[in-house]
Chains A and B, each alone.
Chain A
Amino acid sequence: MIYLDNAATTPMDPRVTGVLKESIDSDFANSGTVYSIGLDARRKIEQAQEDIARALNIPSTHRIIFTSGGSEANNLFIKGLCFPDKRAACLGLEHPSVREPLNYLESFGNNSLSLLEFQTEGRLDLKGVSMLNENRVRLLCLSHINNELGTVNDPIKISDALKRGSSATRLFMDGVQAVGKLKLDAPLWGELAGYSISAHKCHGPKGIGLLIYDSRLSLEPIVHGGSQQHGVRSGTLPVPLIRAMAEAVKVAVECTDETLEHLRKLNRHLIEGLIDLSSRLDSLSIRFNSLSVDDVARQSPAIVNFSFSPVEGEVLLHHLEEKEIFVGLGSACSAHSKEPSKILTGIGLSEEEARCSLRISFSKTNTVEEVDRFLEEFAQAYEVLFPTFHNKLAER
């Protein structure tokens, strides 16, 4: 099996699995209880929290809240901060767990602002910042790394622009694709009101994520109950998942340089391979939707998104599946919908081009040989499918 859909989820790192297994067997006590085994559980959570803070350089000004994953972290921060009447904005190219909470706020008359007209290369053009001031926007929500394109919004540059052009607007970033793929340094946190992370996107377990936010902000909770985690997110904490996430984050951060180097190699190999294919096959013309640049501040090397009209991406996906090669089709959450990706049409692709696209996303476990196998099978499947789709176009 060749797995090239790591932006959807990643396989667990054996070190993480080790921690998880050990903890599931031993850490069963409720961390909210006052007897010794409960206190031990609490201590382990605090230790995990410290490990995460150290690995990600999170300062004490920011609070770490455990959630069930990235979607919950995004919901908790956006709704918790903006309900009922603080105005928010997004680019319009974010994951649905950012866009949908904004739509939810709209049902209470709190209309959010879309900055889609200010997108270039899938990221926010800083010219859009003046709009935020004019519209009295209090929160700007962006992806750190776009989940379909891999394009990067630079929080430092955006925050600088906000300070100059819209000082009342704070910045929230969905960072689920970023851990282990971008360096998160101490100065970064000073610019961020909130940031979300999901363990399973960096070789950790599913069902656990983080919201990291400026502790001076007051968040209205979504889950009420036992007042755990400062009352912001009630619920008994899953010690094994938390410890496993801490391990995953630690490993991911320790290897960031090495991983990036490896991802760059895979990325270059794939892009060159696709260019080579399109020069060899008359029928194939590739349009890269992600950027083909070697600059991690603009484009994550982990994601390559490309179109190849007239063959539909979903059909190609199933042909590759027959060969046990698994690739992505837009974001996994919308892969069941027949609608073409909003992110791809948002950056200007036609519906047809959006439908005729695939997302390849790498992790540290992929190899150059796997990319070669993918290229070979992609070319074969494309050649088999092209006449059928070409005839379809000719019929019109």
Chain B
Amino acid sequence: MTDSRTILIRYDEIGLKGKNRKFFENRLLGNVRKSLGGIGGIRVDKIHGRLLVRVAGLQAEECVRRLSCVPGIASLSVGVLVEPDFDEMAALGIEWILPRLQSNGSLKFCVRTKRSDKRFPSTSTEIDFEVGSRIMKSLAPKGLSVDIAHAEFVLEIEIGPQETMVFDNRTPGLGGLPVGSSGEVLSLLSGGIDSPVSSFMLICRGCRVHSIFFDNRTFLGRGGYDKVTRLARVLNRFQGGGRLYVVPFQDIQVAIRDCCSAPNRVVLYRRMMYRIAGVLAERNRYQGLVTGESLGQVASQTLENLAAVSCVVPMSVFRPLIGIPKQEIIARAKKIETYDISVEPHPDCCSVFMPDHPATRSKIEDLEADEALFPWEKLVEQALTSVEVIDLDRSG
């Protein structure tokens, strides 16, 4: 056994690609290298439809932690180079299984061998049996059992022409596609629970997701700005770099509040947000907007109101949460660690701007009539001249 480790990276979805598979693989390879930046003595290779990261043993855990945040990776295993000797392989298996067994009380396991070096004297099935029975002999009295179909721990062995590796149980990755393989989009981040989750979903589909925040700090203070900056940093853990655009929004909200009909106000605010985001997206060649809207969740998220906001921008609007129930959105937010920030008490809209009875079925002609009552083009221009752009690094 040596002190070095080999981390095996599997990527099922990219593996299903046809002629452009190489493009996705190279993108993932680049992202993996970038995510492991700063860790010394690493080698990353692309071999037979998967990636292998060679690293010193002490750094393997940190590498796994970082790689589990890289979209495109289906699962990871840490492998150790061993002599092609059944006792040594079994000893390693026992070392990994024992702590799990002790905390669970019982554990189902199996051994799976891949033998690419056909000169090795035993077949894969024979190796499974030899190593498996050695482990069972030692751990069956402690509650270990063999279950090939429902194993909770799979010890994987690979016997190649030059080396033999034994792999620890698989750590699940995020799956999806590598960031950068699908282009760039701009996500409307409010500070609430939903929008970070929708950004995350697009990140996992290969997009680099930049964020835009509409800031009304003269009414709401700087708490919202602070919250959104932290949310954008958490999201950047998954994509290694993105921008946050902060747009002053108080003048627009005041104008709509003071000039337009109360029930339409929320949709009018959103039309202005979409317009500004649309211009910024076009200027930066982003290929669409992302929002956290979920059908029927609040008054502004009815089919009519969604149509009334989408129609002001000449580009795709992605709403990955459209059919997802709130509880599931919350569960996802907790998983990506944005939830605790999102629920910090800070209003995302001052009560003075909210109508008591918002319209649930706004009509485009009524909205346009309202918009004729204030100089919206001028306000969009003004807002665009005072955008603050924050470049975020990957460190959360």
Instruction: Say yes or no for B352: interface residue by CB 8 A criterion.
Output: yes
Interface residues on A, range: 10 to 19
Instruction: Say yes or no for B345: interface residue by CB 8 A criterion.
Output: yes
Report the minimum CB–CB distance from A381 to chain B (whole Å).
Answer: 9
A312–B352 Cα gap in the complex (Å)?
9
Q: A336-B345, A337-B345, A338-B345 are in contact. Are A388 and B220 (CB under 8 A)?
A: no
Flag B344-368 by CB within 8 Å of A: 1 or 0 each. Answer: 0111001110011000000000000
Return chain B residues, CB-CB under 8 Å to A312: 350-352
Return chain A residues, CB-CB under 8 Å to B345: 336-338
CB of B355 within 8 A of CB of A388, answer: no
CB of B352 within 8 A of CB of A315, answer: yes
CB of B219 within 8 A of CB of A318, answer: yes
A395–B254 Cα gap in the complex (Å)?
15
Partner of B257, one of A314, A336, A388, A396: A388
Instruction: Say yes or no for A61: interface residue by CB 8 A criterion.
Output: no
Return chain A residues, CB-CB under 8 Å to B219: 315, 318-319
Nearest residue (CB) in A for B254 is A388
Partner of A318, one of B221, B258, B351: B221
Return chain A residues, CB-CB under 8 Å to B257: 388, 391
Report the minimum CB–CB distance from A319 to chain B (whole Å).
Answer: 6
Return chain A residues, CB-CB under 8 Å to B221: 314, 317-318, 321
Report the minimum CB–CB distance from B193 to chain A (whole Å).
Answer: 17
Return chain B residues, CB-CB under 8 Å to A396: 356
Nearest residue (CB) in A for B354 is A392
Partner of B347, one of A338, A391, A392: A338
Return chain A residues, CB-CB under 8 Å to B351: 312
| A369-396 at interface with B (beta carbon < 8 Å) | 387-389, 391-392, 395-396
CB of A388 within 8 A of CB of B356, answer: no
Return chain A residues, CB-CB under 8 Å to B355: 395
Q: A321-B221, A388-B258 are in contact. Are A315 and B356 (CB under 8 A)?
A: no
Nearest residue (CB) in A for B221 is A318
Instruction: Say yes or no for A25: interface residue by CB 8 A criterion.
Output: no
Return chain B residues, CB-CB under 8 Å to A337: 345
Flag A287-318 by CB within 8 Å of B: 1 or 0 each. Answer: 00000000000000000000000001011011
Return chain B residues, CB-CB under 8 Å to A321: 221-222
Report the minimum CB–CB distance from B125 to chain A (whole Å).
Answer: 62
Q: A321-B221, A388-B254, A395-B355 are in contact. Are A315 and B350 (CB under 8 A)?
A: yes
CB of A318 within 8 A of CB of B254, answer: no
Instruction: Say yes or no for A322: interface residue by CB 8 A criterion.
Output: yes
Return chain B residues, CB-CB under 8 Å to A322: 217-218
A338–B221 Cα gap in the complex (Å)?
14
CB of A388 within 8 A of CB of B352, answer: yes
A396–B221 Cα gap in the complex (Å)?
26
Chain A CB within 10 Å, residue with most, of B218, B258, B345? B218
CB of A318 within 8 A of CB of B352, answer: no
Chain A CB within 10 Å, residue with most, of B217, B220, B222, B351? B351
Report the minimum CB–CB distance from B271 to chain A (whole Å).
Answer: 20
A310–B218 Cα gap in the complex (Å)?
17
Chain A CB within 10 Å, residue with most, of B217, B221, B222, B355? B221
Report the minimum CB–CB distance from A200 to chain B (whole Å).
Answer: 22
CB of A391 within 8 A of CB of B220, answer: no
A162–B296 Cα gap in the complex (Å)?
60
Nearest residue (CB) in B for A310 is B352
Return chain B residues, CB-CB under 8 Å to A317: 221
A321–B219 Cα gap in the complex (Å)?
10
Nearest residue (CB) in A for B263 is A395
Nearest residue (CB) in A for B217 is A318
Partner of A395, one of B217, B262, B347: B262
Return chain A residues, CB-CB under 8 Å to B350: 312, 315
Nearest residue (CB) in B for A317 is B221
A388–B219 Cα gap in the complex (Å)?
11
CB of A318 within 8 A of CB of B262, answer: no
Given contacts A312-B351, A315-B220, A391-B258, 6 further A-B contacts (CB under 8 A): A315-B218, A321-B222, A322-B217, A391-B257, A395-B262, A395-B355
Interface residues of A (CB under 8 A from B): 312, 314-315, 317-319, 321-322, 336-338, 387-389, 391-392, 395-396
The 6 closest A-B pairs by CB, nearest first: A318-B221, A315-B219, A336-B345, A392-B352, A395-B262, A319-B218
